[in-house]
C-alpha cells in the first residue's frame, strides 16, 4: 500500500434532503495506488457521497481537496476534468456505437471532423494497457457485461482518471467475470489510480481492498487498513450489532400441502419440475446462473405460463395464465428487479403498497380513498419497519432495503397463501438482509407457504426447510434441511 500524499480528501461533508440527513460530518481519504472499500448499509450515505464526488450533488458543508488543494465539483463534467470517474452496476454503453466510440464518447470534439484512425489507435492502446482484448471497431451490442465494464474503465482512463469509483460493479457478474474485473482493478492500482470500491459482497471486499471505511446512518464510523479488519468487526460497525444475530431462522410448524407441481415444463426454458410446498414451509430454489429458477416462478405466477405439466393448489388442478388470476388464487410474486418491475419509483410508498389491490380503495365513482391507502401503508410501515418520515414519500427516495420492504408490503397486502420470493435480498446490505430473513421466518410462522429463489447459497441453506436444486432448466434433486450442505448443493447444481 502506498505511503504517498492523498490524491483526494473529503472533510466534514454533510448533506440533507428535506427531513433526511443523508450525510453528517463524514470524511474520506483516498491515496494513489490504493483500493479503498467503502462499506455501509443501504441508507448509510454511500450513494450520496459518490454523487457529491462526481458533481451530481453539492454538499451543504465541508470541503473536497485534490492534491491538498480545495476544489468545487459542481457537475459530472467538472469531476471528469479533475480525473474523477465512476462505473456502476449497470454499465452505460451505447450498443450501436463501436467500442472505440464508447470509450471516447465523453470527449469534447476538437474541430469539425473526427480523426477515426487516431480514435481506433488510442482505444487499442488503452485496452492493451488493461490487457483487454476487444475489437474496437465492432459495435458494443454483443459485449458481455464484464466486457462492458472493461469499456467503462477504458473510458475513464481516456479521461486521465485519477480516482475511479466502482459502485457495486460485480452484482451481475459471474465468478470468472469478477476475477477479470479484479485483474483490471489491480492493473489500475499498479498505475497509481485510487479506487473506491463499494460492494455488499463481503468476501470480495476482503479479497481486494487495501483499506476499509465504514459509514452508518450517514456518519463516519471507522477507517482501518484491511489487515486490522475482520468481516465480523466490519459488520458490527455497519449495523451496530454482532454477526451472530444473522441467519437465525427458527423452525416453523409445517402444515398441510398447499401446492403440488408435477412435470412442469416450458419450451426452451425448463422441463420435468416436480415438487410440493406446504403451509408454513420455506422451499428454497438453488442453482447457478442459467438454471432457469426464475422461469419456474414466473410460470407459477402466470407471467410466463408453462405449456405442460400439472399444478394443484389446495387440492384443485389450476391453470394460471395471468398474474391477476394468480392473485385471485392467493399467489404472490416478489420480483428480483424491484426498481424496474417491483416498484413505480415516482409514486408514493402508500400508492405502491396498494397498487395490486387498488379496487379495494376505490369508490363506485372511481375515486381513490387516499386516507384508507395511507392507513394501510402505515400499518405495513410499522410492521416491516420501513424507515421513512412519511408513507407519502416517493418510493424512489428510499434506500434499497426499504424499497424491498415496500415491495414485500405490496404483495403481503394481497393476503397470499403462497409467496414466491425471487432474490429478496439482492443488492441490500447485511442489516436489511437480516430484517428480511426475520420477515420470512415470521411469514412462515403465520402459515404462508414460501418459495425462496436465491443465488446466495448460505441464505438458501439457512432459511429453507427443503432445497430444490436446478441446473440448465432441469431439476437435479430435493434436499431436506438435515441433509443439505453447501458441497451437496453445489455438486448437484454443477452436475
Range 84-92 average pLDDT:
82
* pLDDT for position 111: 56
Residue 157 has pLDDT above 90, yes or no: no
* pLDDT for position 243: 46
Q: Which residue has the higher pLDDT, 422 or 432?
A: 422
87-96, 149-158, 322-331: range with lowest mean pLDDT: 87-96
DSSP for residue 108: P
Sequential DSSP letters for 443-459: HHHTT-EEEEE-S-HHH
Q: Which residue has the higher pLDDT, 145 or 220?
A: 220
Q: Which residue has the higher pLDDT, 301 or 144?
A: 301
122 φ/ψ angles, rounded to the nearest 5 degrees: -70, -35
Report yes or no: 270 and 296 within 8 Å, Cβ to Cβ.
yes
* pLDDT for position 247: 57
Domain 257-494: give its CATH architecture: 3-Layer(aba) Sandwich (3.40)
Range 265-288 average pLDDT:
94
Residue pLDDT, tens place only, 20-64 = 788 999 999 999 999 999 988 766 889 899 999 999 999 999 999
Range 410-435 average pLDDT:
86
Range 69-75 average pLDDT:
93
Residue 471 has pLDDT above 50, yes or no: yes
Question: In which band, very low, low, confident or very high, does the pLDDT at 1 lie, cut at 50, 70 and 90?
Answer: very low
C-alpha cell at 300: 407459477
Q: What percent of the chain has pLDDT over 90?
A: 52
Burial of 345 (0-12, 13-18, 19+ CB in 10 A): middle
C-alpha cell at 69: 488543494
Residue closest to 419 by CA, chosen among 436, 395, 402, 399: 436
Q: For the chain, what is the mean pLDDT?
A: 88
Distance CA 154, CA 169 (A): 15
Residue pLDDT, tens place only, 294-349 = 999 999 999 999 999 999 999 999 999 999 999 999 999 999 888 888 899 999 99
Q: How far apart are the first and last CA of the chain?
A: 41
Sequential DSSP letters for 126-149: HHHHTT----TTSBGGG--HHHHH
Distances (CA, A) of 240 to 40, 214, 215, 233: 11, 11, 11, 10
Query: Any idea where the domains of the chain sit in the sequence?
Result: 8-240, 257-494
Residue 248 has pLDDT above 60, yes or no: no
Computed from CA positions of residues 377, 378, 382, 386, in that sequence, does the dihedral angle turn out positive or negative? Answer: positive
Selecting from 1.10.1740.10, 3.40.50.300, 3.20.20.70, 3.30.2080.10, what CATH number does the domain 8-240 have? 3.40.50.300
20-29, 45-54, 147-156, 274-283: range with lowest mean pLDDT: 147-156
Amino acid at each position: 500500500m502506498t505511503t504517498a500524499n492523498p490524491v483526494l480528501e473529503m472533510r466534514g461533508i454533510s448533506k440533507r434532503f428535506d427531513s433526511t440527513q443523508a450525510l453528517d460530518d463524514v470524511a474520506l481519504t483516498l491515496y494513489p495506488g490504493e483500493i479503498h472499500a467503502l462499506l455501509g448499509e443501504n441508507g448509510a450515505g454511500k450513494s450520496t457521497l459518490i454523487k457529491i464526488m462526481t458533481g451530481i450533488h453539492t454538499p451543504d458543508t465541508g470541503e473536497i481537496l485534490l492534491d491538498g488543494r480545495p476544489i468545487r465539483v459542481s457537475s459530472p463534467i467538472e469531476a471528469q476534468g479533475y480525473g474523477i470517474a465512476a462505473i456502476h452496476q449497470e454499465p452505460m454503453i451505447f450498443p450501436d456505437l463501436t467500442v472505440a466510440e464508447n470509450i471516447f464518447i465523453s470527449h469534447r470534439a476538437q474541430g469539425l471532423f473526427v480523426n477515426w484512425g487516431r480514435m481506433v489507435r488510442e482505444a487499442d492502446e488503452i485496452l492493451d494497457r488493461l490487457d483487454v482484448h476487444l475489437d474496437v471497431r465492432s459495435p458494443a451490442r454483443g459485449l458481455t457485461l464484464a466486457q462492458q465494464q472493461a469499456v467503462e474503465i477504458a473510458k475513464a482512463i481516456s479521461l486521465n482518471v485519477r480516482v475511479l469509483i466502482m459502485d457495486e460493479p460485480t452484482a451481475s457478474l459471474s465468478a470468472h467475470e469478477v476475477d477479470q474485473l479484479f485483474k483490471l482493478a489491480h492493473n489500475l492500482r499498479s498505475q497509481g489510480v485510487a479506487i473506491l470500491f463499494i460492494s455488499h459482497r463481503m468476501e470480495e471486499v476482503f479479497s481486494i481492498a487495501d483499506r476499509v471505511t465504514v459509514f452508518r446512518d450517514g456518519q463516519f464510523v471507522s477507517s482501518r487498513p484491511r489487515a486490522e479488519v475482520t468481516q465480523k468487526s466490519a459488520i458490527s460497525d455497519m449495523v451496530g450489532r454482532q454477526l451472530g444475530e444473522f441467519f437465525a431462522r427458527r423452525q416453523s410448524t409445517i402444515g398441510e400441502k398447499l401446492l403440488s407441481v408435477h412435470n412442469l415444463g416450458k419450451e426452451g426454458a425448463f422441463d420435468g419440475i416436480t415438487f410440493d410446498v406446504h403451509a408454513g414451509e420455506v422451499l428454497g430454489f438453488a442453482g447457478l446462473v442459467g438454471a432457469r429458477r426464475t422461469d419456474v416462478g414466473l410460470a407459477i405466477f402466470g407471467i410466463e405460463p408453462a405449456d405442460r405439466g400439472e399444478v394443484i393448489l389446495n387440492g384443485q388442478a389450476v391453470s394460471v395464465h395471468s398474474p391477476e388470476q394468480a392473485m385471485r388464487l392467493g399467489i404472490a410474486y416478489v420480483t428480483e428487479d424491484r426498481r424496474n418491475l417491483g416498484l413505480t419509483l415516482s409514486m408514493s410508498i402508500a400508492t405502491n403498497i396498494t397498487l395490486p389491490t387498488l379496487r379495494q380503495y376505490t369508490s363506485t365513482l372511481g375515486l381513490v380513498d387516499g386516507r384508507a391507502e395511507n392507513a394501510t401503508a402505515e400499518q405495513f410501515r410499522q410492521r416491516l419497519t420501513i424507515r421513512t418520515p412519511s408513507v407519502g414519500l416517493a418510493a424512489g427516495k428510499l434506500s434499497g432495503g426499504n424499497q424491498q420492504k415496500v415491495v414485500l408490503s405490496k404483495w403481503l397486502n394481497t393476503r397470499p397463501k403462497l409467496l414466491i420470493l425471487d432474490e429478496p435480498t439482492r443488492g441490500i446490505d447485511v442489516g436489511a438482509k437480516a430484517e428480511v430473513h426475520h420477515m420470512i421466518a415470521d411469514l412462515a410462522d403465520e402459515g404462508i407457504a414460501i418459495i425462496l429463489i436465491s443465488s446466495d447459497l448460505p441464505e438458501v441453506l439457512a432459511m429453507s426447510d427443503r432445497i430444490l436444486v436446478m441446473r440448465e432448466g432441469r431439476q437435479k434433486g430435493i434436499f431436506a434441511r438435515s441433509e443439505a450442505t453447501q458441497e451437496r448443493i453445489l455438486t448437484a447444481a454443477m452436475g
